[in-house]
Amino acid sequence: MNYQPSDFLPIFVQLAAAMGFIVFTMIVTHILGPRRSTKLKDEAFECGIESQGDARTPISIKYFLVAILFVLFDIEIVFMYPWAVNFKQLSWTGFWEMAVFMGLLLAGFVYVIKKGILKWEK
């Protein structure tokens, strides 16, 4: 089977349909709904208690660590996709090479876990 860039063309139909649906819905709901703005309603909702400051606050560093780790591991996983597709041709050589790669990946992984990246209480 030959794959061609033109295989992707029908995706524009889907994109157009999805966009059309979304834009249509947004406009319709905007027109149909009533509009009653009050001062209290404009405030951020915090269970009825008067809201303090806004939400542009620093976030726990743990989330950033998770994000950075994700980038690392995701890129390593991306390396594995072409390997998996050609797995049978690469045979044992490829397997052991990938095993070494995964070993290093896991070493880093174990290190990070032991270092306490998932200890959310700290």
* Number of chain residues interacting with another protein (CB under 8 A): 73
The residue (of 36 and 50) whose beta carbon lies closer to another protein is 36
**100 touches another protein (CB under 8 A):** no
Instruction: Give the footprint of another protein on residues 43-62 (CB under 8 A).
Output: 43-47, 51, 54-57, 59
Among 35, 40, 49, 50, binds another protein (CB under 8 A): 35
Ordered DSSP codes for the chain: ----GGGGTHHHHHHHHHHHHHHHHHHHHHHHS-----HHHHSPPSTTSPP-S-S-----HHHHHHHHHHHHHHHHHHHHHHHHHTHHHHHHHHHHHHHHHHHHHHHHHHHHHHTTTT-TT-
Confirm or reject binding of residue 111 to another protein (CB under 8 A).
yes
**Is residue 99 a contact residue for another protein (CB under 8 A)?**
yes
Span 62-81, contacts to another protein by CB under 8 A: 63, 66-67, 70, 73-74, 77, 80-81
